[in-house]
A and B are shown apart, each in its own frame.
Chain A
Amino acid sequence: MRKSRTLDLGTGTFMLLGFAALFFLTTQTTSRGISLASPPHYDLTAKFDNIGDLKVGAPVSMSGVEMGRVTKITFDSREYKAVVTMRFDARYNQIPTDSDAAIYTQGLLGGKFIGLTAGGADTYLKDKDQIDFTQSAFVLENLIGQVLANFTKSAGQSDSGKSKADAPAQPTPKTTEKTK
């Protein structure tokens, strides 16, 4: 009797540990997770032209301090913009209404996160409010495209015999025309 009790205890402990591990894997390491305890929080939204590869669960921070997470990403089919819902810790409830949100990259290959910059307004954002000033994700291909375009333009001009002094003025052609 004593022996079968310890045996059952061992088997039971093992099965419990095993299923606890499976539960942990399915809920805590994936995005389908159930957060075990949800502390007091409030939600804000922001519309972005382009969110790059921002994912649900990405951190939202101000001055480098994490204040919340991205909880939902949807598409606004009228404005053709991405609508990002963020959940903030209730401790950080003093975000000015004219704050702006931008999407940054962690490291070179890291994931995206949202960085907030505080505005100067006296009123604070409340639950379900929208952050109006946003800045899209930095898309590397676009930047490379621009640089290449500029580069080929200035190269073509120097070949055709124009002075190199014109080249730095390239990004703002309108102003150069006016001065001429």
Chain B
Amino acid sequence: MKLIQELWESLAEALIGLGAVVRFLLRLVAASPRALLRLDLISQQIYNAGALSLVIIMLSGLFVGMVLGLQGFQLLQRFGSEEALGTAATIGLVKELGPVVTALLFAGRAGTALASELGLMRATDQLSAMEMMAVDPIRRVVVPRFLGGVIAMPLLAAIFSVIGIYGAQLVGVQIMGVDAGSFWSQMRGAVGLHDIYEGIAKSFIFGVTCSLIAVYQGYYALPTAEGVGRATTRTVVTSAVFILFLDYLITAAFL
């Protein structure tokens, strides 16, 4: 009996948490038009979330692409169709690996930075101080960080995919000896614009999810050192789970 009650309570807690996140998202969206007037704040957050993540994204993209080149070549060789490597690598990167791996890295690199920054602002009463000065912390602090993440994420995913394709080309064509013309022509024949759109849509949705979870966890962190740490951890864990879950949903919707 007690077990059922505990289960029910934890379920209710999860639902309350989900509802609070959605309400927070609506608040952010409502405050967005006004926050767009301060473009300098947003561009600074694009720098924090995007430009500072460039190196890790490009390195990861290169290695993921090179591994795809190796594995794809090994697999396709069994069927005697190594020329399809370009198609396989591009579709894999643009539709799946690009958005998902970028989002996971983004949650780890930019999401944690956002959550701990906001959590520390909360712990040191900076957010309350803003409220005292009649400055809306949501509009001044949270929304620019959210929008910066949303804008940066699709661009990062696109950069990841392009570097990955060149990584696959490097291994497949330069090392394994697939014909460069077939690599690119089969890719162009098989990849359609809808594949690219699917990748962009995915990375955009992941950008919203990651940024939202990060700013929510940071904004509502307990104002203690432990609370900030926990908010950072939760950001990564929740983001990762939601990214993979949403990835399945979006893929199924686009089929």
Interface residues of A (CB under 8 A from B): 7-8, 10-11, 13-15, 17-19, 21-22, 24-26, 28-33, 55-59, 66, 69, 106-111
Contact between chains at A11 and B189 (CB < 8 Å): no
Query: Within 8 Å of chain A (Cβ to Cβ): is B181?
Result: yes
Which A residues lie within 8 Å of B242 (CB)? none
Q: Is the CB of A18 within 8 A of B84?
A: no
A56 adjacent to B189 (CB under 8 Å): yes
Question: Judging by beta carbons under 8 Å apart, are B161 and A21 in contact?
Answer: yes
Q: Kindly list chain B residues whose C-beta atoms are within 8 Å of the C-beta of A25.
A: 94, 158, 161-162, 196, 199
Contact of B83 among A7, A33, A110 (CB under 8 A): A110
Q: Is the CB of A111 within 8 A of B83?
A: yes
Please give the distance in Å from B162's CB to the nearest CB on chain A.
4
Asked if A26 meets B51 with Cβ closer than 8 Å, knowing A21-B155, A111-B186, the reply is no
Interface size on B, residues (CB 8 A): 40
> Given known contacts A18-B156, A25-B196, is B54 in contact with A59 (CB within 8 Å)?
no
Which 10 pairs between the two chains have the least Cβ-Cβ distance? Answer: A18-B155, A21-B158, A14-B51, A55-B189, A109-B81, A10-B51, A107-B80, A107-B81, A11-B47, A21-B162
Closest-CB distance, A17 to chain B (whole angstroms): 6
Q: Is B50 interfacial (CB-CB < 8 Å)?
A: yes
On whether the beta carbons of A110 and B80 are closer than 8 Å, the reply is: yes
Tell me if B80 and A18 are in contact (CB < 8 A).
no
Q: How far is the CB of A54 from chain B (nearest CB, A)?
A: 9
Tell me, yes or no, whether B43 is within 8 Å of chain A by CB.
yes
Q: A14-B50, A18-B154 are in contact. List 9 more A-B contacts (CB 8 A).
A: A11-B43, A11-B50, A19-B155, A21-B161, A25-B158, A25-B161, A109-B79, A110-B186, A111-B186
